Amino acid sequence: MEFQPIIDDIAAVLAAERGAGRVASYIPALARVDPAQFGIALCTGDGRVCAAGDADVPFSIQSISKLFSLALAMRHVGDALWQRIGREPSGNPFNSLVQLEWEQGVPRNPFINAGAIAVADRLVSACPDARATLLAMVGSLCGEAVAFDEEVAASEAATGFRNIALANFMRSFGKIDNDVDTVLDLYFHQCSVAMSCVQLARATAFLCRDGAHPLDGSTVVTERQARRLNALMLTCGTYDAAGEFAFRIGLPCKSGVGGGIVAVVPDRLSLCVWSPGLDQTGNSLLGMRALEMFAARTGLSVF
């Protein structure tokens, strides 16, 4: 299948709608992002890349980083990771304190904020320098050096009162082992990583290759772990809109409030779309529309 004409057409169709949605203004550094941007890129299992629009413009990957931190934690911690983190959709906002109290400090899944903070705690325990380890992993996967956006990380730390509350709440239940400030420093920095659609499409290609590194073929995660990551993306990867994504798109997806969404077609390709304007669920408005168009025009789905 020739994918370049398909994504070129999607970018052309959505050009008139650039700027739709609202940027994540509650994070000051993201409030200044130009909403009239749209990028799309894909990477096939054999390494071919197609791109259109603003696909080479770096943006804050935000919660897409939870996919990489989870993969790293699965590699370092194994099944013991699930002793403190659930695997069920939340059905509640990604930063809910109510649900966390009801479940005695055990996050419902690793992709809500509390779950990602719990993953960060496991990484702090497992890695002497968790920040550097995570950044090196992501850079290796996309084949280029990537960096933290320190302005975004500082902005997250200065305004992340609910995340600070979530971490301390879990600590009060004995579910966080390390110093809360150290854990949150890793969490805020992982969310600040800046990458483009092309880089993210490459970096997530291990999920369409049964866990094999997209560039050198080495094992990133096992085949079983890759299946589990895809399953969690499908059921929990898009906040409380996972059912809508499954219904309209039918692919494992992981989104972030920076406007990016990555999607995986197992054994075929990985895909990234970016448009900063969000819908009411915190997912990219045009990004979701682009993925729906891609699925409809290619017929690719896990169902």
Q: What is the mean pLDDT of residues 92-120?
A: 88
Higher pLDDT pick, 92 / 301: 301
The Cα–Cα gap between 74 and 140 comes to 17
Show the CA angle centred on residue 62, arms to residues 264 and 170, nearest 5°.
105
Instruction: Kindly report the pTM of this predicted structure.
Output: 0.96
Q: What is the mean pLDDT of residues 187-191?
A: 98
Choose the catalytic residue: 63, 90, 196, 270: 63
Choose the catalytic residue: 239, 264, 270, 284: 239
The Cα–Cα gap between 18 and 277 comes to 9
Q: Which string of DSSP letters, residue by residue, matches 261-289?
A: EEEEETTTEEEEEE-S-B-TTSSBHHHHH
Show the CA angle centred on residue 225, arms to residues 221 and 228, nearest 5°.
145
pLDDT tens for 68-95 read: 999 999 999 999 999 999 999 876 666 7
Q: Mean of the per-residue pLDDT values for the chain?
A: 95
Half-sphere exposure of 57 (CA within 13 A, CB side): 19
Distance of CA 94 to the CA centre of its chain: 13
Choose the catalytic residue: 23, 60, 66, 138: 66
Report the percent of the chain where pLDDT is more than 70.
99
Question: Is residue 183 flagged as an active site residue?
Answer: no
What is the per-residue pLDDT for 72? 98
Question: Is residue 187 flagged as an active site residue?
Answer: yes
What is the per-residue pLDDT for 93? 66
Report the percent of the chain where pLDDT is more than 90.
92
Question: Is residue 26 flagged as an active site residue?
Answer: no
Domain boundaries, the chain: 4-298
Beta-strand pair 269-274/39-44: antiparallel
Choose the catalytic residue: 23, 152, 193, 257: 257
pLDDT-based confidence at residue 96 (cuts at 50, 70, 90): confident
- The CA-atom distances, in angstroms, between 84 and each of 122, 179, 214, 250, 257 are 10, 17, 30, 29, 25
Choose the catalytic residue: 106, 187, 196, 284: 187
Q: What is the mean pLDDT of residues 111-138?
A: 97
For the domain bounded by 4-298, which CATH number is listed? 3.40.710.10
**Segment among 5-9, 225-229, 239-243 with least mean pLDDT:** 239-243
pLDDT tens for 179-188 read: 999 999 999 9
Phi-psi map region of 247: left, alpha, beta (phi>0 left; psi -120 to 50 alpha): alpha
